[in-house]
Amino acid sequence: MMKSNKLKAYLDSIINRGVKVDYWFMTKQTVSDFFLELFIAQIVDRYQLSEKTHGFAQFYSQQFKNNDAMATKYPAQLGENTYRNTIIPEYLGLIQRSGAGYDTATVTDAYELISKYIKTYEDMEIYHELVERQLEKLPFNVLNVNHGDNDYNDISVFAIMLLYKIMYELYHKTGSSYLSYNEFVLFVMRTKVYSDWKDCLDLILLSREENDFDKSDYIDKIVNQQYVNDIRFDALFNELSSIKYVRKTSFEIINDAAISYVKNTLDKFENSKYCEITDKGEIKEFLCSSNYFDGSLDHDLDMNNINNLLSMDKLDEGIVEEIIENKIQRRNPSKVKNIENSTSLKIIEFPNTYKEYKKKNNTPTVRLYNFEKINKRNSAKGKKAEELVLEYEKLRLAELGYGNLINMIEHVSKTKGDGLGYDILSYDVIDGNILPIYIEVKGSTMDENSPFDISRNELEVAKIHGKNYKIYRISSLGDNVAKCFIMDGEQLFKEMTFEPMSFKAFKKSDEE
Protein backbone atom coordinates (compact mmCIF):
# COMPACT_ATOMS: atom_id res chain seq x y z
CA MET A 1 0.00 0.00 0.00
CA MET A 2 1.26 3.46 -0.91
CA LYS A 3 2.26 5.74 1.99
CA SER A 4 1.45 9.06 0.32
CA ASN A 5 -2.16 9.85 -0.58
CA LYS A 6 -0.98 12.84 -2.61
CA LEU A 7 1.28 10.68 -4.76
CA LYS A 8 -1.39 7.99 -5.18
CA ALA A 9 -4.01 10.54 -6.22
CA TYR A 10 -1.60 12.04 -8.77
CA LEU A 11 -0.75 8.67 -10.33
CA ASP A 12 -4.36 7.44 -10.33
CA SER A 13 -5.40 10.64 -12.08
CA ILE A 14 -2.93 9.93 -14.90
CA ILE A 15 -4.35 6.45 -15.40
CA ASN A 16 -7.98 7.60 -15.19
CA ARG A 17 -7.49 10.45 -17.66
CA GLY A 18 -5.27 8.46 -20.00
CA VAL A 19 -1.48 8.34 -20.20
CA LYS A 20 -1.41 10.51 -23.35
CA VAL A 21 -3.01 13.42 -21.55
CA ASP A 22 -1.04 16.21 -19.84
CA TYR A 23 2.15 14.95 -21.43
CA TRP A 24 4.93 16.84 -23.19
CA PHE A 25 4.94 16.42 -26.92
CA MET A 26 7.50 17.40 -29.54
CA THR A 27 7.36 15.29 -32.70
CA LYS A 28 6.81 11.76 -33.95
CA GLN A 29 10.00 12.08 -36.03
CA THR A 30 13.25 10.83 -34.48
CA VAL A 31 15.70 13.58 -33.63
CA SER A 32 19.32 12.89 -34.61
CA ASP A 33 21.86 15.64 -33.91
CA PHE A 34 21.85 19.43 -34.12
CA PHE A 35 24.21 19.65 -37.10
CA LEU A 36 21.76 17.63 -39.20
CA GLU A 37 18.93 19.96 -38.21
CA LEU A 38 21.04 22.97 -39.26
CA PHE A 39 21.63 21.33 -42.64
CA ILE A 40 17.91 20.68 -43.10
CA ALA A 41 17.18 24.32 -42.26
CA GLN A 42 19.77 25.26 -44.87
CA ILE A 43 17.83 23.17 -47.41
CA VAL A 44 14.73 25.25 -46.63
CA ASP A 45 16.77 28.41 -47.18
CA ARG A 46 18.11 27.13 -50.51
CA TYR A 47 14.63 26.14 -51.60
CA GLN A 48 13.34 29.67 -51.02
CA LEU A 49 16.28 31.14 -52.90
CA SER A 50 15.51 28.82 -55.83
CA GLU A 51 12.07 30.48 -56.09
CA LYS A 52 10.41 27.09 -56.53
CA THR A 53 6.74 26.90 -55.56
CA HIS A 54 6.35 23.13 -55.36
CA GLY A 55 8.42 19.95 -55.19
CA PHE A 56 10.06 20.44 -51.81
CA ALA A 57 10.20 16.68 -51.11
CA GLN A 58 12.28 16.00 -54.23
CA PHE A 59 14.43 19.07 -53.58
CA TYR A 60 15.10 17.86 -50.02
CA SER A 61 16.38 14.41 -51.02
CA GLN A 62 18.42 15.86 -53.90
CA GLN A 63 20.32 18.14 -51.51
CA PHE A 64 21.54 15.07 -49.61
CA LYS A 65 22.39 13.25 -52.84
CA ASN A 66 24.45 16.24 -53.98
CA ASN A 67 26.45 16.30 -50.74
CA ASP A 68 28.62 13.18 -50.47
CA ALA A 69 29.59 13.77 -46.83
CA MET A 70 26.00 14.24 -45.65
CA ALA A 71 24.72 11.37 -47.81
CA THR A 72 27.33 9.07 -46.27
CA LYS A 73 26.64 10.18 -42.71
CA TYR A 74 22.84 10.26 -43.06
CA PRO A 75 21.87 7.71 -45.76
CA ALA A 76 18.33 7.49 -44.36
CA GLN A 77 17.72 11.07 -45.55
CA LEU A 78 17.98 10.18 -49.26
CA GLY A 79 14.36 9.08 -49.71
CA GLU A 80 11.72 11.59 -50.81
CA ASN A 81 9.44 10.92 -47.84
CA THR A 82 12.19 11.91 -45.40
CA TYR A 83 11.38 15.57 -46.02
CA ARG A 84 8.97 15.12 -43.10
CA ASN A 85 12.03 15.40 -40.85
CA THR A 86 11.90 19.12 -41.63
CA ILE A 87 9.49 19.35 -38.70
CA ILE A 88 12.43 18.85 -36.31
CA PRO A 89 14.31 22.09 -37.15
CA GLU A 90 10.88 23.73 -37.02
CA TYR A 91 10.44 22.56 -33.42
CA LEU A 92 13.98 23.76 -32.69
CA GLY A 93 13.14 27.26 -33.91
CA LEU A 94 15.38 27.14 -36.99
CA ILE A 95 12.58 27.40 -39.56
CA GLN A 96 8.93 28.45 -39.52
CA ARG A 97 5.95 28.01 -41.82
CA SER A 98 2.47 29.42 -42.16
CA GLY A 99 0.84 26.61 -44.14
CA ALA A 100 0.64 22.84 -43.96
CA GLY A 101 3.56 22.16 -46.32
CA TYR A 102 7.15 23.37 -46.49
CA ASP A 103 6.99 25.07 -49.90
CA THR A 104 6.54 28.42 -48.16
CA ALA A 105 8.69 27.73 -45.08
CA THR A 106 11.44 30.21 -44.22
CA VAL A 107 14.47 30.21 -41.94
CA THR A 108 14.37 32.15 -38.67
CA ASP A 109 16.58 34.78 -37.07
CA ALA A 110 17.89 32.08 -34.73
CA TYR A 111 19.07 30.04 -37.73
CA GLU A 112 20.57 33.07 -39.45
CA LEU A 113 22.71 33.86 -36.42
CA ILE A 114 23.76 30.30 -35.57
CA SER A 115 24.61 29.45 -39.20
CA LYS A 116 27.00 32.39 -39.41
CA TYR A 117 29.15 30.65 -36.82
CA ILE A 118 28.55 26.96 -37.47
CA LYS A 119 29.36 25.69 -40.96
CA THR A 120 31.37 22.54 -40.17
CA TYR A 121 31.55 19.87 -37.48
CA GLU A 122 34.69 21.59 -36.16
CA ASP A 123 32.63 24.76 -35.73
CA MET A 124 30.12 22.76 -33.68
CA GLU A 125 32.84 22.18 -31.07
CA ILE A 126 34.08 25.77 -31.04
CA TYR A 127 30.66 27.41 -30.96
CA HIS A 128 28.72 24.69 -29.14
CA GLU A 129 27.56 27.22 -26.58
CA LEU A 130 25.25 28.65 -29.26
CA VAL A 131 23.66 25.22 -29.72
CA GLU A 132 23.15 24.84 -25.98
CA ARG A 133 21.61 28.28 -25.64
CA GLN A 134 19.13 27.57 -28.43
CA LEU A 135 18.17 24.26 -26.81
CA GLU A 136 17.79 25.95 -23.43
CA LYS A 137 15.05 28.06 -25.06
CA LEU A 138 13.28 24.90 -26.23
CA PRO A 139 9.56 24.65 -25.36
CA PHE A 140 7.49 21.48 -25.37
CA ASN A 141 3.77 21.55 -25.97
CA VAL A 142 1.42 20.10 -23.36
CA LEU A 143 -1.28 17.88 -24.87
CA ASN A 144 -5.03 17.93 -24.22
CA VAL A 145 -4.89 19.75 -20.89
CA ASN A 146 -8.27 21.06 -19.79
CA HIS A 147 -9.73 19.89 -16.52
CA GLY A 148 -11.24 21.20 -13.31
CA ASP A 149 -10.86 24.93 -12.80
CA ASN A 150 -7.60 24.97 -14.71
CA ASP A 151 -7.55 25.56 -18.46
CA TYR A 152 -4.12 24.62 -19.75
CA ASN A 153 -5.03 24.40 -23.42
CA ASP A 154 -2.55 25.81 -25.90
CA ILE A 155 0.44 26.20 -23.59
CA SER A 156 4.13 25.36 -23.72
CA VAL A 157 6.75 24.84 -21.04
CA PHE A 158 10.47 25.60 -21.21
CA ALA A 159 11.51 21.96 -21.01
CA ILE A 160 15.27 22.24 -20.50
CA MET A 161 14.88 24.99 -17.93
CA LEU A 162 12.47 22.85 -15.93
CA LEU A 163 14.81 19.85 -16.18
CA TYR A 164 17.72 22.02 -14.99
CA LYS A 165 15.59 23.33 -12.11
CA ILE A 166 14.50 19.93 -10.85
CA MET A 167 18.02 18.51 -10.99
CA TYR A 168 19.51 21.59 -9.33
CA GLU A 169 16.95 21.49 -6.50
CA LEU A 170 17.48 17.74 -6.06
CA TYR A 171 21.18 18.47 -5.66
CA HIS A 172 20.47 20.93 -2.85
CA LYS A 173 17.85 18.73 -1.17
CA THR A 174 19.63 15.40 -1.36
CA GLY A 175 23.25 16.14 -2.27
CA SER A 176 22.79 14.48 -5.67
CA SER A 177 21.28 15.81 -8.90
CA TYR A 178 20.46 12.26 -10.04
CA LEU A 179 17.06 11.97 -11.73
CA SER A 180 15.87 8.59 -12.93
CA TYR A 181 14.24 8.16 -16.31
CA ASN A 182 11.05 6.93 -14.61
CA GLU A 183 10.94 10.11 -12.51
CA PHE A 184 11.45 12.20 -15.62
CA VAL A 185 8.56 10.53 -17.45
CA LEU A 186 6.18 10.38 -14.48
CA PHE A 187 6.72 13.81 -12.99
CA VAL A 188 8.89 16.21 -15.01
CA MET A 189 7.24 15.52 -18.37
CA ARG A 190 3.80 16.13 -16.86
CA THR A 191 4.62 19.50 -15.31
CA LYS A 192 2.56 22.08 -17.17
CA VAL A 193 4.22 25.36 -16.22
CA TYR A 194 7.66 26.22 -14.85
CA SER A 195 6.21 27.68 -11.66
CA ASP A 196 4.90 24.20 -10.74
CA TRP A 197 8.45 22.92 -10.20
CA LYS A 198 7.96 22.64 -6.41
CA ASP A 199 5.01 20.25 -6.83
CA CYS A 200 7.07 18.20 -9.27
CA LEU A 201 9.99 18.03 -6.84
CA ASP A 202 7.69 17.06 -3.94
CA LEU A 203 6.22 14.17 -5.94
CA ILE A 204 9.69 12.90 -6.85
CA LEU A 205 10.78 12.96 -3.21
CA LEU A 206 7.55 11.28 -2.09
CA SER A 207 8.04 8.49 -4.63
CA ARG A 208 11.52 7.87 -3.23
CA GLU A 209 10.03 7.23 0.19
CA GLU A 210 7.88 4.40 -1.19
CA ASN A 211 9.12 0.83 -1.02
CA ASP A 212 10.20 -0.54 -4.41
CA PHE A 213 8.43 2.25 -6.27
CA ASP A 214 10.26 1.41 -9.52
CA LYS A 215 8.71 -2.06 -9.37
CA SER A 216 5.17 -0.84 -8.75
CA ASP A 217 2.24 -1.32 -11.12
CA TYR A 218 2.32 2.40 -11.89
CA ILE A 219 5.55 1.99 -13.86
CA ASP A 220 3.93 -0.60 -16.12
CA LYS A 221 0.64 1.25 -16.40
CA ILE A 222 2.19 4.66 -17.16
CA VAL A 223 5.89 4.63 -18.07
CA ASN A 224 6.02 1.36 -20.00
CA GLN A 225 3.12 2.20 -22.29
CA GLN A 226 4.22 2.29 -25.93
CA TYR A 227 3.25 5.90 -26.60
CA VAL A 228 4.79 7.20 -23.40
CA ASN A 229 8.01 5.21 -23.62
CA ASP A 230 8.69 6.24 -27.21
CA ILE A 231 10.56 9.51 -26.64
CA ARG A 232 12.16 10.45 -29.95
CA PHE A 233 13.78 13.72 -28.98
CA ASP A 234 16.16 12.49 -26.29
CA ALA A 235 19.26 12.76 -28.51
CA LEU A 236 19.02 16.48 -27.77
CA PHE A 237 20.00 15.86 -24.15
CA ASN A 238 23.43 14.75 -25.35
CA GLU A 239 24.00 18.26 -26.75
CA LEU A 240 23.88 19.68 -23.20
CA SER A 241 27.46 19.57 -21.91
CA SER A 242 26.47 20.02 -18.25
CA ILE A 243 24.27 16.92 -18.18
CA LYS A 244 25.11 13.26 -18.41
CA TYR A 245 22.14 11.45 -19.93
CA VAL A 246 22.08 7.65 -20.02
CA ARG A 247 19.32 6.71 -22.43
CA LYS A 248 16.14 5.53 -20.70
CA THR A 249 18.04 5.29 -17.43
CA SER A 250 18.99 8.59 -15.81
CA PHE A 251 20.02 12.25 -15.89
CA GLU A 252 22.73 13.85 -13.76
CA ILE A 253 24.59 17.16 -13.66
CA ILE A 254 28.16 16.09 -14.30
CA ASN A 255 30.21 18.01 -11.71
CA ASP A 256 30.48 21.10 -9.51
CA ALA A 257 31.44 23.36 -12.41
CA ALA A 258 28.33 22.21 -14.26
CA ILE A 259 26.23 22.87 -11.14
CA SER A 260 27.49 26.47 -11.24
CA TYR A 261 26.67 26.74 -14.94
CA VAL A 262 23.13 25.42 -14.38
CA LYS A 263 22.59 27.83 -11.47
CA ASN A 264 23.77 30.82 -13.55
CA THR A 265 21.53 29.80 -16.44
CA LEU A 266 18.52 29.41 -14.15
CA ASP A 267 19.23 32.85 -12.66
CA LYS A 268 19.22 34.38 -16.14
CA PHE A 269 15.96 32.63 -16.98
CA GLU A 270 14.16 33.39 -13.72
CA ASN A 271 15.16 37.06 -13.90
CA SER A 272 13.89 37.38 -17.46
CA LYS A 273 10.38 38.10 -18.71
CA TYR A 274 10.28 34.68 -20.35
CA CYS A 275 9.99 32.84 -17.04
CA GLU A 276 6.34 33.89 -16.71
CA ILE A 277 5.29 33.24 -20.32
CA THR A 278 3.24 30.12 -21.10
CA ASP A 279 1.48 31.18 -24.32
CA LYS A 280 2.60 28.97 -27.20
CA GLY A 281 2.67 31.83 -29.67
CA GLU A 282 4.86 34.07 -27.53
CA ILE A 283 7.24 31.26 -26.66
CA LYS A 284 7.49 30.21 -30.31
CA GLU A 285 8.31 33.78 -31.32
CA PHE A 286 11.09 33.87 -28.73
CA LEU A 287 12.43 30.46 -29.83
CA CYS A 288 12.68 31.61 -33.45
CA SER A 289 14.38 34.87 -32.52
CA SER A 290 18.11 35.45 -32.12
CA ASN A 291 17.51 36.37 -28.46
CA TYR A 292 18.53 34.54 -25.29
CA PHE A 293 17.32 35.10 -21.73
CA ASP A 294 19.83 37.89 -21.09
CA GLY A 295 20.45 39.36 -24.54
CA SER A 296 21.49 38.03 -27.92
CA LEU A 297 22.27 34.34 -28.47
CA ASP A 298 25.88 35.25 -29.22
CA HIS A 299 26.22 37.68 -26.32
CA ASP A 300 29.55 37.25 -24.52
CA LEU A 301 30.91 34.55 -26.83
CA ASP A 302 34.71 34.74 -26.82
CA MET A 303 34.91 34.34 -30.61
CA ASN A 304 32.44 36.93 -31.73
CA ASN A 305 34.05 38.27 -34.92
CA ILE A 306 32.17 36.39 -37.62
CA ASN A 307 34.17 38.09 -40.36
CA ASN A 308 37.28 36.31 -39.06
CA LEU A 309 35.93 32.76 -38.72
CA LEU A 310 38.61 30.30 -37.88
CA SER A 311 40.22 28.05 -40.50
CA MET A 312 41.67 25.54 -38.08
CA ASP A 313 43.80 23.61 -40.56
CA LYS A 314 45.78 26.75 -41.39
CA LEU A 315 47.06 27.02 -37.84
CA ASP A 316 49.83 25.46 -35.81
CA GLU A 317 48.56 22.56 -33.70
CA GLY A 318 49.46 24.43 -30.51
CA ILE A 319 47.26 27.36 -31.54
CA VAL A 320 44.35 25.05 -32.34
CA GLU A 321 44.68 23.46 -28.90
CA GLU A 322 44.83 26.93 -27.33
CA ILE A 323 41.58 27.95 -29.04
CA ILE A 324 39.75 24.76 -28.08
CA GLU A 325 41.07 24.86 -24.50
CA ASN A 326 39.99 28.48 -24.05
CA LYS A 327 36.51 27.61 -25.30
CA ILE A 328 36.23 24.63 -22.97
CA GLN A 329 37.59 26.70 -20.08
CA ARG A 330 34.75 29.19 -20.49
CA ARG A 331 32.02 26.59 -20.94
CA ASN A 332 33.11 23.88 -18.52
CA PRO A 333 36.48 24.28 -16.74
CA SER A 334 36.40 20.71 -15.44
CA LYS A 335 36.73 19.41 -19.00
CA VAL A 336 40.11 21.09 -19.59
CA LYS A 337 42.63 18.27 -19.93
CA ASN A 338 45.53 17.94 -17.51
CA ILE A 339 48.30 16.14 -19.41
CA GLU A 340 49.72 14.79 -16.15
CA ASN A 341 46.64 12.55 -15.89
CA SER A 342 48.05 10.35 -18.67
CA THR A 343 49.94 7.43 -17.13
CA SER A 344 50.17 4.93 -19.99
CA LEU A 345 49.80 4.41 -23.74
CA LYS A 346 47.40 2.33 -25.78
CA ILE A 347 48.82 1.46 -29.21
CA ILE A 348 46.19 1.75 -31.94
CA GLU A 349 46.08 1.24 -35.70
CA PHE A 350 46.33 4.24 -37.98
CA PRO A 351 42.70 5.49 -37.92
CA ASN A 352 40.61 5.12 -41.07
CA THR A 353 38.87 8.33 -40.06
CA TYR A 354 42.13 10.36 -40.03
CA LYS A 355 41.56 13.81 -41.47
CA GLU A 356 42.16 13.96 -45.23
CA TYR A 357 43.79 16.90 -46.97
CA LYS A 358 41.41 19.33 -48.62
CA LYS A 359 42.50 22.31 -50.66
CA LYS A 360 41.71 25.49 -48.78
CA ASN A 361 41.02 29.00 -49.90
CA ASN A 362 43.67 31.61 -49.23
CA THR A 363 41.51 34.00 -47.24
CA PRO A 364 43.67 35.25 -44.37
CA THR A 365 42.43 35.08 -40.80
CA VAL A 366 43.36 37.63 -38.19
CA ARG A 367 43.60 36.56 -34.57
CA LEU A 368 45.72 37.33 -31.52
CA TYR A 369 47.46 34.53 -29.63
CA ASN A 370 49.49 34.31 -26.44
CA PHE A 371 52.54 32.59 -27.96
CA GLU A 372 54.43 32.57 -24.67
CA LYS A 373 51.63 30.53 -23.11
CA ILE A 374 51.33 28.30 -26.19
CA ASN A 375 55.08 27.59 -26.32
CA LYS A 376 55.15 26.81 -22.61
CA ARG A 377 52.27 24.35 -22.94
CA ASN A 378 53.75 22.80 -26.10
CA SER A 379 56.99 22.19 -24.20
CA ALA A 380 55.16 20.52 -21.29
CA LYS A 381 53.02 18.50 -23.67
CA GLY A 382 56.07 17.33 -25.64
CA LYS A 383 57.94 16.40 -22.48
CA LYS A 384 55.00 14.35 -21.16
CA ALA A 385 54.50 12.56 -24.49
CA GLU A 386 58.21 11.69 -24.67
CA GLU A 387 58.15 10.35 -21.11
CA LEU A 388 55.24 8.06 -22.02
CA VAL A 389 57.08 6.78 -25.10
CA LEU A 390 60.27 6.17 -23.10
CA GLU A 391 58.36 4.02 -20.61
CA TYR A 392 56.57 2.23 -23.45
CA GLU A 393 59.87 1.43 -25.20
CA LYS A 394 61.40 0.05 -22.00
CA LEU A 395 58.33 -2.14 -21.43
CA ARG A 396 58.29 -3.27 -25.08
CA LEU A 397 61.93 -4.41 -25.03
CA ALA A 398 61.50 -6.11 -21.66
CA GLU A 399 58.45 -8.05 -22.91
CA LEU A 400 60.38 -9.11 -26.03
CA GLY A 401 63.17 -10.46 -23.83
CA TYR A 402 65.75 -7.82 -24.71
CA GLY A 403 66.18 -6.24 -21.30
CA ASN A 404 69.88 -5.75 -22.09
CA LEU A 405 68.90 -3.06 -24.61
CA ILE A 406 66.88 -0.96 -22.17
CA ASN A 407 69.91 0.92 -20.85
CA MET A 408 70.90 1.76 -24.43
CA ILE A 409 67.72 3.80 -25.01
CA GLU A 410 68.64 7.47 -25.18
CA HIS A 411 66.37 10.48 -24.73
CA VAL A 412 68.34 12.49 -27.29
CA SER A 413 66.14 15.60 -27.17
CA LYS A 414 67.27 15.83 -23.54
CA THR A 415 70.90 14.70 -23.85
CA LYS A 416 71.76 16.34 -27.18
CA GLY A 417 69.01 18.89 -27.64
CA ASP A 418 66.55 19.48 -30.48
CA GLY A 419 67.64 19.54 -34.10
CA LEU A 420 68.46 15.88 -34.72
CA GLY A 421 65.05 15.27 -36.28
CA TYR A 422 64.02 12.74 -33.65
CA ASP A 423 63.50 12.66 -29.87
CA ILE A 424 64.39 9.15 -28.73
CA LEU A 425 66.95 6.60 -29.90
CA SER A 426 65.68 3.09 -29.22
CA TYR A 427 66.26 -0.35 -30.66
CA ASP A 428 64.51 -3.24 -32.34
CA VAL A 429 65.67 -6.77 -33.13
CA ILE A 430 64.92 -8.04 -36.64
CA ASP A 431 66.06 -11.56 -37.62
CA GLY A 432 68.51 -11.51 -34.73
CA ASN A 433 70.03 -8.19 -35.73
CA ILE A 434 69.93 -5.22 -33.36
CA LEU A 435 68.73 -2.18 -35.29
CA PRO A 436 68.43 1.41 -34.10
CA ILE A 437 65.05 3.12 -34.39
CA TYR A 438 64.77 6.89 -34.46
CA ILE A 439 61.59 7.99 -32.73
CA GLU A 440 59.98 11.38 -33.26
CA VAL A 441 57.19 11.94 -30.71
CA LYS A 442 54.14 14.02 -31.66
CA GLY A 443 51.87 14.69 -28.68
CA SER A 444 48.42 16.27 -28.61
CA THR A 445 45.42 16.64 -26.33
CA MET A 446 43.22 16.30 -29.42
CA ASP A 447 41.97 12.99 -30.81
CA GLU A 448 43.80 10.58 -33.10
CA ASN A 449 42.19 12.03 -36.25
CA SER A 450 43.84 15.46 -35.97
CA PRO A 451 46.78 16.32 -38.26
CA PHE A 452 50.20 16.89 -36.69
CA ASP A 453 52.98 19.37 -37.39
CA ILE A 454 56.29 18.12 -38.79
CA SER A 455 59.42 20.09 -39.66
CA ARG A 456 61.45 19.99 -42.85
CA ASN A 457 64.39 18.61 -40.88
CA GLU A 458 62.25 15.78 -39.48
CA LEU A 459 61.08 14.89 -43.00
CA GLU A 460 64.66 14.78 -44.26
CA VAL A 461 65.73 12.51 -41.38
CA ALA A 462 62.67 10.30 -42.00
CA LYS A 463 63.69 9.96 -45.66
CA ILE A 464 67.23 8.95 -44.67
CA HIS A 465 66.25 6.28 -42.14
CA GLY A 466 63.07 4.99 -43.85
CA LYS A 467 61.53 2.10 -41.93
CA ASN A 468 63.88 2.70 -39.00
CA TYR A 469 62.37 6.15 -38.47
CA LYS A 470 59.21 6.08 -36.38
CA ILE A 471 56.54 8.69 -35.73
CA TYR A 472 54.82 8.00 -32.41
CA ARG A 473 51.63 10.06 -32.67
CA ILE A 474 50.28 10.46 -29.14
CA SER A 475 46.68 11.68 -28.94
CA SER A 476 44.19 12.32 -26.13
CA LEU A 477 46.91 13.49 -23.73
CA GLY A 478 45.13 14.16 -20.46
CA ASP A 479 43.10 10.95 -20.57
CA ASN A 480 44.27 8.26 -18.15
CA VAL A 481 45.34 6.12 -21.10
CA ALA A 482 46.56 8.20 -24.04
CA LYS A 483 46.33 6.72 -27.55
CA CYS A 484 49.26 6.22 -29.91
CA PHE A 485 49.62 5.09 -33.51
CA ILE A 486 53.07 4.36 -34.96
CA MET A 487 54.11 5.19 -38.51
CA ASP A 488 57.53 4.55 -40.05
CA GLY A 489 59.35 6.84 -42.47
CA GLU A 490 58.25 4.95 -45.58
CA GLN A 491 54.61 5.00 -44.51
CA LEU A 492 54.92 8.70 -43.74
CA PHE A 493 55.75 9.59 -47.35
CA LYS A 494 53.36 7.01 -48.80
CA GLU A 495 50.23 7.82 -46.78
CA MET A 496 50.53 11.47 -45.79
CA THR A 497 50.32 14.78 -47.65
CA PHE A 498 52.37 17.72 -46.40
CA GLU A 499 51.26 21.32 -46.54
CA PRO A 500 53.82 24.12 -45.97
CA MET A 501 52.70 26.28 -43.06
CA SER A 502 55.53 28.85 -43.18
CA PHE A 503 58.42 29.91 -45.43
CA LYS A 504 61.85 31.51 -44.99
CA ALA A 505 62.37 34.59 -47.16
CA PHE A 506 65.63 35.23 -49.05
CA LYS A 507 66.59 37.95 -51.53
CA LYS A 508 66.20 36.80 -55.12
CA SER A 509 69.45 36.13 -56.97
CA ASP A 510 70.28 38.03 -60.16
CA GLU A 511 69.66 34.88 -62.24
CA GLU A 512 65.99 34.71 -61.20
Give the 3-state secondary structure of 16-32: HHCCCCCCEECCCCCCC
Q: How confident is the model at residue 332 (pLDDT cuts 50, 70, 90)?
A: low
Over 50: is that where the pLDDT of 367 sits? Answer: no
Q: What is the pLDDT of residue 508?
A: 78
364 and 240: one domain?
A: no
Over 70: is that where the pLDDT of 105 sits? Answer: yes
Directed axis angle between helix 109-117 and helix 280-288, to 10°? 30
Phi, psi of 503 (to 5 degrees): -135, 155
164 and 253: one domain?
A: yes
Please answer whether residues 102 and 86 qualify as being in contact, where contact means their C-beta atoms are separated by less than 8 angstroms: yes
345 and 460: one domain?
A: yes
374 and 259: one domain?
A: no
CA 119 – CA 55 distance, rounded (Å) = 26
CA 274 – CA 276 distance, rounded (Å) = 5
Q: Which of 278, 294, 314 is the last residue of a domain?
A: 278
**Domain assignment of residue 58, yes or no:** no
Phi, psi of 364 (to 5 degrees): -70, 150
**Domain assignment of residue 457, yes or no:** yes
Task: Please classify residue 309 by burial: count the beta carbons closer than 10 Å to its beta carbon, then call 0-12 exposed, 13-18 middle and 19+ buried.
Answer: middle
Q: Region 198-222: what's the mean pLDDT?
A: 93
Please give the residue range of the domain that contains residue 412: 339-495
| Neighbouring C-alpha atoms within 13 Å toward the C-beta of 11 | 23
Rounded to two decimals, what is the model's pTM? 0.61
Q: What is the pLDDT of residue 390?
A: 94
Please answer whether residues 339 and 445 qualify as being in contact, where contact means their C-beta atoms are separated by less than 8 angstroms: yes
CA 174 – CA 273 distance, rounded (Å) = 30
163 and 250: one domain?
A: yes
Q: What is the pLDDT of residue 364?
A: 42
257 and 396: one domain?
A: no
**Domain assignment of residue 411, yes or no:** yes
| Neighbouring C-alpha atoms within 13 Å toward the C-beta of 418 | 8
**Domain assignment of residue 296, yes or no:** no
Q: What is the pLDDT of residue 405?
A: 94
Phi, psi of 144 (to 5 degrees): 50, 40
Q: How confident is the model at residue 370 (pLDDT cuts 50, 70, 90)?
A: very low
Q: What is the pLDDT of residue 308?
A: 38
**Domain assignment of residue 330, yes or no:** no
| CA-based nearest residue to 163, from 145, 178, 146, 148 | 178
Q: For residues 438 and 51, which has the higher predicted lDDT (pLDDT)?
A: 438
The one-letter amino acid code at 429 reads V
264 and 370: one domain?
A: no
Over 50: is that where the pLDDT of 369 sits? Answer: no
Please answer whether residues 115 and 39 qualify as being in contact, where contact means their C-beta atoms are separated by less than 8 angstroms: no
- Mind giving me the DSSP string for 165-234? HHHHHHHHHHS---EEHHHHHHTGGG--SGGGHHHHHHHHHHHHHSTTGGGSHHIIIIITSTTTT----G
**Domain assignment of residue 43, yes or no:** no
Please answer whether residues 317 and 444 qualify as being in contact, where contact means their C-beta atoms are separated by less than 8 angstroms: yes
Please answer whether residues 212 and 218 qualify as being in contact, where contact means their C-beta atoms are separated by less than 8 angstroms: no
Please answer whether residues 76 and 21 qualify as being in contact, where contact means their C-beta atoms are separated by less than 8 angstroms: no
250-253 β-sheet, strand order: 179-180, 250-253, 243-246
Over 80: is that where the pLDDT of 230 sits? Answer: no
Over 80: is that where the pLDDT of 355 sits? Answer: no
Q: What is the pLDDT of residue 304?
A: 38
Q: What is the pLDDT of residue 460?
A: 94
Q: For residues 239 and 318, which has the higher predicted lDDT (pLDDT)?
A: 239
Instruction: Compute CA 243 distance to the chain's CA centroid, rounded to the nearest angstrom.
Output: 12
Domain count, the chain: 2
User: pLDDT digit string (tens) for 38-74?
Assistant: 999 999 998 888 888 788 989 998 888 888 888 888 8
**Domain assignment of residue 477, yes or no:** yes
Mean per-residue pLDDT over the chain, rounded: 83
Q: What is the pLDDT of residue 253?
A: 96
**Domain assignment of residue 187, yes or no:** yes
Q: For residues 198 and 315, which has the higher predicted lDDT (pLDDT)?
A: 198
